[in-house]
Structure 1
Amino acid sequence: MTDPRILVLIPARMASTRLPGKPLKDIVGLPMIIHVLRRAQEAAVGRVAVATDTQEIADAVTAHGGVAVMTSPSHPSGSDRIHEAMQKLDPGGQAEIVVNLQGDFPTITTDNIRDVLPPLEDPAVDIATLASQIHTEEEDLAPSVVKAIGTSLGGKRMRALYFTRATAPTGDGPRYHHIGLYAYRRAALERYVSLPPSPLELQEKLEQLRALEAGMRIDFTIVDTVPRGVDTAADLETARSILSKS
């Protein structure tokens, strides 16, 4: 039985600039969004739904036995979209934690989804996320790879100090690739979407900096694998190759 206090929401929209119609792209016989939906269901951490502004996506989700919530097409971010979906699905406020699972992570593992939750056992933490140690120069130097900078809390837990597209921190020592999977306390999500975009968020083009600049605490768990996001046709082929072997 899944935990009614946890809501796993998957934002999905058709208007991707680099890969239009992305959520419905076929990967080994299923639309991409259905792969993400199934991983979320298999993780069995809470109620799962897809938050979308497109009827075609909602129809695909319901055709495969999932729950879809229609949301406004004008949301500036996935966080705003899941906030609306949360209000529609859970108006009574039973859900205490909301997981934001991107709809373009078809290769995400159930373990990754479960691993995002433990930092929220600490009441001081507002938002939890994931990162993985960087092992290649290509990852290290790529602005598309967001680096999570934090201070160790022991084991695989770190408290986030900053996120950046730059290669940071400098000097010898590990660097970490941030993975865009988030678990919010309900109150933290409500506060986050009420805030205007922050200066560093706009400069780095990283939404999580809005929370840090507002004094919210983000902790992250170090995991061994990085799910491959699908942003381009080449990424789609990579995902097809990975999932055809699983």
Structure 2
Amino acid sequence: MQVCGVIPARLQSSRLPRKLLLNETGQTLIQHTWEAAARSEKLDRLIVATDSLEILEAVHGFGGKACLTGEHPSGTDRIAEVALKELLDAEILVNIQGDEPEISAEFIDQLIEILIQTPDAEMATLATPIRNVEQLQDQSCTKVVCRQDGSAMYFSRLPIPFTRDVVPETLLPEQSPWLLHLGIYAYRRPFLLDLTKIPATPLEQLEKLEQLRALETGARIQVAQVAHPSVGIDTPEDYAQFVIRYRAEHS
């Protein structure tokens, strides 16, 4: 089974312009993400999908593989284009965020394995327990509720499940019933190509969560739990902390 990782990479970012090309560590952010993902033992290929010539040249400069795409409304659409142009033999495609330079290769492998082991699931993703109230209340942090078989029931920006008779603080951190969704996905090829042809669905438009399109149209999304979240780079402060961690590790 051919498994390919795709890193969608846009140059512009509203909170941290040109973040994927920041290089205070001596390497660009996109190179850090590439090298972290490349440690996966289950990926047969890894490619960056970008509409930016600058990112394309940067990836080629460190020896990575990259494909130039058209403009797309989402990373999923960008991956679908690459699947049709470059990854013709890929049976499973993994969407890896370009701004996660510390992504765990073990997380990627766990994601791939759960999709392989769940043949009736069209997609797989990851989640981790929420340990503090701030994260629980943060609407930029997506929550997921799962069935007993580990498949997703719903994703929301609000705290779900709602605890009617219990104050959240009494359950955190050790008894947390809340799961933080991590933005990494594995798709079966036919499903990915079909999903990108479907218009945005009502719940997707309300929550601004693309994975709800899959649920609304009847797909099974299998969720694997991991011990801790990966750290994305969204702000100058996020990047500064990453640089500090990187220098401390490599000093």
Is 1:192 matched with 2:192?
no
Is 1:118 matched with 2:113?
yes
Question: Are the aligned partners of 1:107 and 1:243 in contact in 2 as well (CA < 8 Å)?
Answer: no
Match of 1:149 among 128, 145, 149: 145
Runs of 4+ in 1 over 4 A off after TM superposition: none
| Matched residue type, 2:207 | E
| Matched residue type, 2:217 | A
Question: Are the aligned partners of 1:43 and 1:111 in contact in 2 as well (CA < 8 Å)?
Answer: yes
Question: Are the aligned partners of 1:119 and 1:125 in contact in 2 as well (CA < 8 Å)?
Answer: no
User: What pairs up with 1:165-184 in 2 under 5 angstroms?
Assistant: 165-171=157-163, 174-184=177-187
Whole-angstrom distance in 1 between the partners of 2:148 and 2:243: 36
| Matched residue type, 2:102 | T
| Matched residue type, 2:188 | R
Whole-angstrom distance in 1 between the partners of 2:221 and 2:44: 21
Larger Rg: 2
Match of 1:127 among 115, 118, 123: 123
| Matched residue type, 1:116 | L
Q: State the secondary structure of the residue aligned to 2:177.
A: coil
TM-score relative to the length of structure 2: 0.91
CA deviation after TM superposition for structure 1 residue 27, in Å: 4.6
Question: Are the aligned partners of 2:118 and 2:222 in contact in 1 as well (CA < 8 Å)?
Answer: no
1:188-244 superposed Cα distances (whole Å, 9 cap, x missing partner): 101110110011111001000000000011011000121111111111112222323
Q: How many pairs are equivalent?
A: 236
Worse-matched range after superposition: 223-232 or 175-184: 223-232
Normalized per residue, the structure richer in strand is 1
1:33-61 superposed Cα distances (whole Å, 9 cap, x missing partner): 00111111111322000000011101111
CA deviation after TM superposition for structure 1 residue 89, in Å: 1.0
Whole-angstrom distance in 2 between the partners of 1:187 and 1:32: 31
Match of 2:133 among 130, 133, 137: 137
Question: Are the aligned partners of 1:95 and 1:186 in contact in 2 as well (CA < 8 Å)?
Answer: yes
* Sequence identity (%): 39
Q: State the secondary structure of the residue aligned to 1:99.
A: strand
5+ residue gaps, structure 1: none
Match of 1:53 among 26, 42, 51: 51
Q: State the secondary structure of the residue aligned to 1:135.
A: coil
Q: State the secondary structure of the residue aligned to 2:196.
A: helix
Question: Are the aligned partners of 1:130 and 1:223 in contact in 2 as well (CA < 8 Å)?
Answer: yes
Question: Are the aligned partners of 2:49 and 2:82 in contact in 1 as well (CA < 8 Å)?
Answer: yes
TM-score relative to the length of structure 1: 0.92
Q: State the secondary structure of the residue aligned to 2:39.
A: helix
